[in-house]
Structure 1
């Protein structure tokens, strides 16, 4: 890999995301299917689960232990208010036991576990520590504990995303995709059959259960993918990794594009019209979460477009890890005006021109950006 810069940070980030994915799987298998109390509704109608808080606490605790809590600045999605309420005591208990159960497995991933069980105040403290606002100076970790909560709750696609930003630039990106199989062929099987069958009839787990973790460092010109290590000891750390690269397709007629499965904060009709005008013929791949970035990074799809509805601001934790992984895998990500995304302005992608366009290559990207300019004024946005 040549330059060893950020190697240690990336190594820790990959391990901690594997650990977080293991936690998410346990929660998804157990809590969400049996107990609706474990899912709270946030003010913005997106769902928050035990997994969100548990992952945030776990990642925060480990990063603070390794790099020193004084030195670690973490930007993350969840705040601690809901969990601190008296009526959330039962929920907090579940989070605390989930975190402790997860941290007990840390040595399997080459990480240190706590000397003694963490109490609720320590778990709340770890979550609360993720209160940074980022900005143009210094080093900030950016975490989305469970990206695509709706996908998570439905047993579909979701991601654990961890990135590191230094002086406004994303320099480390790790994306854990617990339900995104190592091979694209398994994905089709998953989507056709998984929803029509109950979990019980699917035991032992079939091959689509193999999730993956993708990761990269800025400037390495390489992005990698590992099969998910599960706590059941089926796969041991250290894990094998394979290099991933974007697709070489540059003809829109052959390209597949990803779009958000959620309609709430994106404009599907403009995207559909644009796809038609560029000549995209394939069925779009509609997936929850940053798994869309993963799909492009490893060549399962060629284009991802997201045009936010008026008033919606893109948050950096929804994009940082995925953007870097696509770029280092050979792809291009800009706003709809063709400009690089700016991660130096705090919690939001400020100054974003209309939306985000990610492509497997420059040629395809130029065609999409051209089509956006041509069709924007005539659309009803």
Structure 2
């Protein structure tokens, strides 16, 4: 691993901790809540302030690097994953939790070169836990190694998922149909903490056996995906194919057998890709390596 990438990861850890402090301080204040795509897709001034802080710092230290950020894309910036060194950032993953004081909020920073994730940093703001992974170097929480669960029986498993922000009745029906089918396998339970990044860290930590979701964005799961992989887990699309960072569909599990059994139960739909505005013709090959 090039020294410059290690330097970038150290910078990401420092930025995530600084951003987390801003998030914790903001919870104590009144906040202005705005809507993005719909009444349940929320954004706050803290989301914007944190992303601006990260972007400014990255551009000063690594001026040639590219950037994909939730609030930048919402403001009209293109969502392009090229071969260039690219920071993929969710400044406040779990904005709805943040707004309501539900104590699961994360800062998520992924980093890719040649479309391959090289490191991921997820800072759990409210309980001051730092999750990180470096490709080929393992996954850690506060410097302690992470390892996925060794459970291989799906009937003895907990599965994490989320409802997302889409309220289209057909989509909601598919979401609940998938949950019903999974519960009926049966599994021990279905859980979700309201943030993709932390759900992925729960898989990496061995607290749940799997997490799946349709409708998330690349900035929600880029960092957490690498943390799962480096903790010994598996990643794929909900249809069983390779994970595509732009597809807005993710399935992470502790082992392939549990992942493949979940694939058979998930009612698949295809939200608009993150790179839809920048594609022409067939979808680009932006697979997870």
TM-score range, shorter chain: 0.7 to 0.9
Q: Which residue of 2 aligns with 1:40?
A: 34
The aligned counterpart of 1:224 is 140
Q: 2:25, 2:85 → 1: CA distance?
A: 31
**Aligned 8 A contact 1:173 1:217 in 2:** yes
TM-fit CA distance, 1:253 = 1.6
For residues 43 and 362 of structure 1, the distance between their equivalents in structure 2, rounded to whole angstroms, comes to 35
> How big is the alpha-carbon RMSD for the aligned residues of Structure 1 and Structure 2?
2.5
Superposed CA deviations along residues 30-84 of structure 1, whole A, max 9, x for unmatched, are 233xxxxx2122243311112101111111121122223xx131111114998xx
Could you tell me how far apart the structure 2 residues matched to 1:80 and 1:341 are?
21
Q: Specify every segment of 5 or more residues in structure 2 that has no aligned partner in the other structure, as ranges.
A: 269-289
Aligned equivalents of 2:180, 2:35: Cα separation in 1: 33
Distance 2:74 2:203 in 1: 36
Alignment of 1:164-175 (within 5 A): 164-175=111-122
Which residue of the partner structure matches residue 356 of structure 1? 250
* Contact 1:170–1:324 (Cα < 8 Å) also in 2: yes
For normalisation by structure 2, the TM-score amounts to 0.81
Counterpart-to-counterpart distance in 1, 2:163 and 2:181: 17
Match of 1:284 in 2: 190
Q: Which has the larger radius of gyration?
A: 1
Do 2:178 and 2:265's aligned partners in 1 also have CA atoms closer than 8 Å? no
2:208 to 287, 301, 304: 301
The one of 124, 139, 142 equivalent to 1:177 is: 124
1:16–1:370 CA distance, 2 compared to 1 (3 A): same
Counterpart for residue 179 of structure 2: 272
Match of 1:339 in 2: 241
- Equivalent residue in structure 2 for 1:64, among 59, 63, 75: 59
Q: Which runs of 4+ in 1 moved over 6 A?
A: none
Structure 1 gaps, min length 5: 33-37, 83-127, 180-209, 227-240, 309-313, 377-381
Match of 2:272 in 1: none
Would you say the 8 A contact 1:76–1:144 is kept in 2?
yes
Question: How far apart, CA to CA, are the structure 1 residues paired with 2:232 and 2:184?
Answer: 25
The question of whether the paired residues in 2 share the 8 Å contact of 1:73 and 1:132 is answered with no
Per-residue deviation, residues 286-344 of structure 1 (Å, max 9, x unmatched) = 21012111111111111112245xxxxx421121111111111111110122222223x
The answer on whether the counterparts of 1:41 and 1:47 sit within 8 Å (CA) in structure 2 is yes
1:262 and 1:133 map into 2 onto residues whose CA distance is 20
One of 147, 151, 162 as aligned partner of 2:109: 162
Distance 1:66 1:132, change over 3 A: farther
1:268, distance to aligned residue in structure 2 (A): 2.9
Residue 142, structure 1, aligned to residue 88, structure 2 = yes
Alpha-carbon distance, 1:176 to partner? 1.3
Counterpart in 1 of 2:5?
6
Residues 135-160 of structure 1 deviation map (CA, whole Å, 9 limit, x = unaligned):
33211111111112101111122221
Q: TM-score, normalised by structure 1?
A: 0.63
Provide the residue aligned with 1:114 in structure 2.
none
Matched, 1:258 2:258: no
Partner of residue 238, structure 1: none
Q: Take 1:77 and 1:28, find their aligned partners in 2: how far apart are those partners? A: 20
Does the 8 A contact of 1:139 with 1:167 survive in 2? yes
Q: Is the 8 A contact 2:33 2:43 kept in 1?
A: yes
CA distance in 2, matches of 1:357, 1:50: 31
2-structure distance, mates of 1:342, 1:223: 21
Q: State the distance in 2 between where 1:13 and 1:270 align.
A: 39
- Please give the secondary structure, in 1, of the residue aligned with 2:161: strand
Once the 2 structures are TM-superposed, how far is the Cα of residue 273 of structure 1 from its aligned partner? Answer: 2.5
